[in-house]
């Protein structure tokens, strides 16, 4: 089993640089990095090599390689995107409607960028999940859709001079439309399905728990449930056999492995943390995340997991699950709640909570500065906006 690290440290960073195409040489028993020549428009060759992997870019904060979560507004909230080698935990909304959309955005972005996918589920067949991925939306079509929505909104509201309370004046503006030169992150039409020719050209792996348990019924582990054990073995095999392991430089063209795991921790995975306050497998999920992060740290991969946190009886387990994740995003839907009929929330479908942002090479996680975030599902797109509940008129 792999060991957990608190951040993408020196050894892991060197291994990932080698896997991404870095020129690492050993001279006199030590490690040295030799430049072959400056790249055009770049101060060195390292950044150009990292950008050579489709669908990635280096972070402006720490140089860490990033991939898009499939929703540019979410990338902006997370500091530019998902860091390669990290785990994004999505806490599902009550009816698993909007969290499932974010899950599909992540997978759709991987197919558009040419990344390899691993889709794991205990409930829905991975083939069916791919068939429901949204269609990529061109920038001009997306801009036209947003313009139409804005015009309808402006026509329906009176022109009253309003001033937002001081605490909302300097909040960062969310990216609601694509930039003219942005090639990192794409937009998708939720009303249409991704064309079959695009799906068929994708390279992906499936993990459907009912099939795996039927095929290998005698797998036993005292620390993990059968489903978690088999899933870890499957991830480790793909990372090793297909050259995503950062400790072994790839000879072929470099690529990213996107791992998507649906509703982890639910009873369908053989876990009982959603059924009792003192479950029999209390530490099974946390052990799984511990080992998974070790695999991610030493590979060119990024993982998104959805968890039904609202069903977990013991809140101490929820806290441990968050601590073992790099990024934690929670979705709170207004469906079936009192807020659904409230005039304060009439323009939104729910709230989004950024519980934790990774602070790489550190023992603790970061916290988002923007707290008042809401989301809404329009006819074609899923948008995230800064909620401004406190307003007063200026006379």
Do residues 146 and 380 touch, judged by C-beta distance below 8 A?
no
pLDDT in tens, 147-183: 555 555 445 544 433 333 434 444 444 444 433 334 6
Residue 307, strand partner residues: 91
pLDDT value for 169: 43
Distance (Å, rounded) from C-alpha 342 to C-alpha 384? Answer: 19
- Both tokens assigned to 307: 């968890």
Task: Supply 317's token pair.
Answer: 């387990």
> What is the reported pLDDT for 304?
98
Q: What are residue 260's DSSP bridge partners?
A: 119, 304
Helices (H) and strands (E) counted in the chain, each on its own, are 12, 18
Q: Given this model, what pLDDT does residue 223 score?
A: 76
The CATH class for the domain spanning 67-138+183-386 reads alpha beta
Give the 3-state secondary structure of residue 131: helix
* Alpha carbon separation from 103 to 44, 119, 245, 298 (Å, rounded): 35, 10, 24, 23
Integer Cα distance of 118 and 239 in angstroms: 10
| Rounded CA Rg of the chain | 22
Q: What is the pLDDT of residue 145?
A: 54
Residues of the chain with pLDDT under 70: 1-51, 138-183, 215-222, 246-252, 361-371, 388-395
Q: What is the DSSP string of 84-102?
A: TT-EEEEEPPTTSSHHHHH
Task: Kindly compute the dihedral angle of the four CA atoms of residues 367, 67, 242, 105, in this order, to the nearest 10 degrees.
Answer: 90
User: 């800064």: which residue's tokens?
Assistant: 386
Q: Cβ–Cβ contacts within 10 Å for residue 311, how many?
A: 15
Note whether 98 and 350 are within 8 A (CB): yes
Q: Please state, in angstroms and rounded to a whole number, the distance separating the CA atoms of residues 122 and 124.
A: 6
Structure tokens at 384: 């995230």
> Is residue 73 within 8 Å of 177, Cβ to Cβ?
no
- The C-alpha atoms of residue 224 and residue 71 are separated, in whole angstroms, by 33
Treating both helix axes as pointing N-terminal to C-terminal, what angle do 284-297 and 315-323 enclose, rounded to 10 degrees? 10
Domain ranges of the chain: 67-138+183-386
- Max alpha carbon distance in the chain (Å)? 75
Which residues, at least 6 apart from 382, have a Cβ–Cβ distance to it below 8 Å? Answer: 71, 98, 101, 102, 105, 190, 375, 376
HSE (CB half, 13 Å, CA atoms) of 350?
22
CA dist., res. 27 & res. 344, Å (int): 64
The H or E element spanning position 113 is: helix 98-113
Q: How far apart are CA 53 and CA 62, in angstroms?
A: 18
Q: Which spans in 216-255 are helix H?
A: 226-241
Closest CA to 16 of 64, 52, 60: 64
What's the pLDDT score for residue 23? Answer: 47
Alpha-carbon distance of 272 to 90, in angstroms, equals 19
Residue written as token pair 């040489």: 25
> What is the helix, strand, coil percentage profile of the chain, to 5?
35, 25, 45
The β-bridge partners of 333 are 350
Q: How far apart, in whole angstroms, are the C-alpha atoms of residue 339 and residue 384?
A: 18
Give the pairing type, strands 116-121 and 257-261.
parallel
Considering the entire predicted model, what is its pTM? 0.77
């Amino acid at each position: 089993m792999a060991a957990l690290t608190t951040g993408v440290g020196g050894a892991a960073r060197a291994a990932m640089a080698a896997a991404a195409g870095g020129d690492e040489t050993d001279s006199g028993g030590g490690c040295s990095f030799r430049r072959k020549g400056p790249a055009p428009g770049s101060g060195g060759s390292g950044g150009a090599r990292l950008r050579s992997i489709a669908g990635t870019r280096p972070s402006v904060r720490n140089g860490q390689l990033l991939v898009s979560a499939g929703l540019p507004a979410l990338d902006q909230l997370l500091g530019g995107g998902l860091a390669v080698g990290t785990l994004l935990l999505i806490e599902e909304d009550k009816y698993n409607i909007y969290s499932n959309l974010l899950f599909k955005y992540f997978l759709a972005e991987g197919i558009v960028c040419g990344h390899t996918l691993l889709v794991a589920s205990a409930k829905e067949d991975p083939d069916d999940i791919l068939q429901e991925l949204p269609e990529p939306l061109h920038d001009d079509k997306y801009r036209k859709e947003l313009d139409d929505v804005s015009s309808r909104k402006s026509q329906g509201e009176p022109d009253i001079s309003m001033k937002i309370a001081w605490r909302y004046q300097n909040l960062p503006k969310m990216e609601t439309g694509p930039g003219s030169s942005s090639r990192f992150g794409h937009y998708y039409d939720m009303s249409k399905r991704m064309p079959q020719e695009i799906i068929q050209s994708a390279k992906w792996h499936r993990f459907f728990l009912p099939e795996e348990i039927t095929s290998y019924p005698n797998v036993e582990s005292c620390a993990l449930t059968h489903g978690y054990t088999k899933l870890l073995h499957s991830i480790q095999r793909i990372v090793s056999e297909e050259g995503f392991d950062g400790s072994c430089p790839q000879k072929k063209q470099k690529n990213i492995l996107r791992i998507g795991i649906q509703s982890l921790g639910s009873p369908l995975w053989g876990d009982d943390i959603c059924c009792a306050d003192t479950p029999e497998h209390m530490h099974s999920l946390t052990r799984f995340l511990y080992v998974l992060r070790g695999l991610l740290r030493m590979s060119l991969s990024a993982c998104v997991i959805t968890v039904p946190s609202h069903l977990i009886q013991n809140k101490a387990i929820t806290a441990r699950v968050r601590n073992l994740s790099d990024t934690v995003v929670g979705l709170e839907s207004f469906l079936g709640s009192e807020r659904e009929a409230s005039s304060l929330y009439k323009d939104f479908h729910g709230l989004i909570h950024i519980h934790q942002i990774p602070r790489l090479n550190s023992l603790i996680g970061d916290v988002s500065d923007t707290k008042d975030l809401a989301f809404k599902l329009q006819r074609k797109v899923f948008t995230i906006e800064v909620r401004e509940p406190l307003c007063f008129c200026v006379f």
